[in-house]
Structure 1
Amino acid sequence: MTHPYRDRDQRMYDEHRNLLFSVAYRILGSVADAEDAVQDAWLKWSAADRGQVSDPRAYLTRIVSNLAMDRLRSTRHRRETYVGPWLPEPILTSGDTAEAVTNAESVSMAMLVVLETLSPLERAVFVLKEVFDLSHAEIADAVERSEAAVRQAAHRAREHVRARRPRFTADRSRQREVTERFLAAATGGDINTLMELLSPDVTLWTDGGGKVRQALRPVVGAQTVAAWFAAIGTVTYQGVEPADMSAELVEINGGPGMVFTGSDRVVATVTFDFDADGHITAIHNVANPDKLRAITDGATRDVGAR
């Protein structure tokens, strides 16, 4: 026997699932936490009196935004006591559509790192306003604050992000070209080419989470960072011999990145931040195995602002 209401609800959930994940992931920077928030939103939706819901999209956005903020508050202590730098959990994305290109910056590793420095309210307001283009009134309803409080939070967040995240960056074709050259130079031990591609004050952030050996502080400077990556083909990394390590160019969080695999597992991801000339200004290296599950799954995520 079919259940028309249940089927309708499931269709509604399926229709908005990508939107809910997109909101939650940008607020949380964690795939697992975002998926939990989406699942909890579904449970709340299932228990709600839909006769009182005139706009399911707005209703579900409100639920998942509040769940994500609550979850972010509860995880803050864990992140503050994390071993070494805390980086967002990387995801595979696709930049085939114009919309995906437009949204690439908002889901980049560098942007998520900046968003990590905002309060949960500021982060949620920034995401809903700047990425999903909700009005201040809609956001006030979503985060259960006054419109005046939302306007203040939006202003603070926007100024904070603007100060730490300049919007001048190289075009996507240039980014891909530099990433391809970086991959060839790193795997070939070509330190001179690596030096050419790196900004003099480039910073490398490595996230091992205490699970694998990584630098506990940022590695700064082209010479040091180039030497780090030039050694890839000569040293054993996480128990994987150089001959058994492979690297692939993929799209990660809206931009070109690299996935390193060996011994039948994903070992690490590497993503880049570029200046307007195409030089690499920052590198984010995620090696904590707990944060590589979404990459291991191989699923490409739709994180468009729909």
Structure 2
Amino acid sequence: MIYHKECKVCKSEVTLINKTYNLGQCKNCKLIFCLTIYSQDQFIRVYDELYNEENAIYRNHAVVEYDMLLENKKIKVGYHRSRLLKKHILNGKCESVLEVGSGIGLIGSYIRNENKQIKYLGIEIDKESYQKSQFLKLNTINDDFTAIDTLEESFDVIMLWEVIEHLQDLKLFLELAYKKLNKNGKIILSTPNYNKIYNYPKREEDAIFQDKPPVHLNFFTKENITAIFEINHFFKCKATVKKFPYLEIKSKKFYIDFLKSMFNNYNGSTIYLEATKA
């Protein structure tokens, strides 16, 4: 195995904070990330197991949502995501959008249904998900995010939904995204909130409450994700955290967490970021 010896974004010193998953934290930008460096083949196998096998954890995304798209049912993208899409893409000003980690094409289909004039391109590393997006006649390519560097066009918006936590070479992504955005172009994204660990005061040591490496490689807080984008020349960086817990009416913990959230004493599960290219 090969390991990171310094921060993958700002090259500063890192401190080991989680021995179980070999996570380090940068002393400067505060990024938390897996110090182990994995191969591309490992990623492809992992995603296939997560999405495509019969009992896959995320089979809902690959199968249920795909069937919904085939049947032309109403596409549900979630409250926070739909707000960002309306604000930055479906605003009458956006002409082109790139989605990194486009999956089967849920968001691409949603945008097409709302405005066929917007030029959409999706990049998806998982071959089966890519093939499904092709069947839906979406403009997608089967590759990892480094394919951004081969594109001739630039974009008004680049979006990633629960993807940035998977990117091993985070610094390269930030550089390529900045390069391919038009002036005043936007990045919009969502990612798990690392600080949700504090909702579990009796947690076991090293518990992270999200997918372990090599699935998730980067772990974000509202503060460190803003710092990381600002270090890489983005401005107007606004990070917000989902305030309320997901609805689970049969769970006692849901009601406890809901009350905590009413008093701003709950760490939401998801971070949403908006950032602008200077």
**TM-score category of the 2 structures, normalised to the smaller one:** under 0.3
Higher relative contact order (CA 8 A, sep 6+): 1
Please state which structure has a larger fraction of its residues in helix: 1
Q: TM-score by structure 1 length?
A: 0.22
Q: TM-score by structure 2 length?
A: 0.23
Please state which structure has a larger fraction of its residues in strand: 2
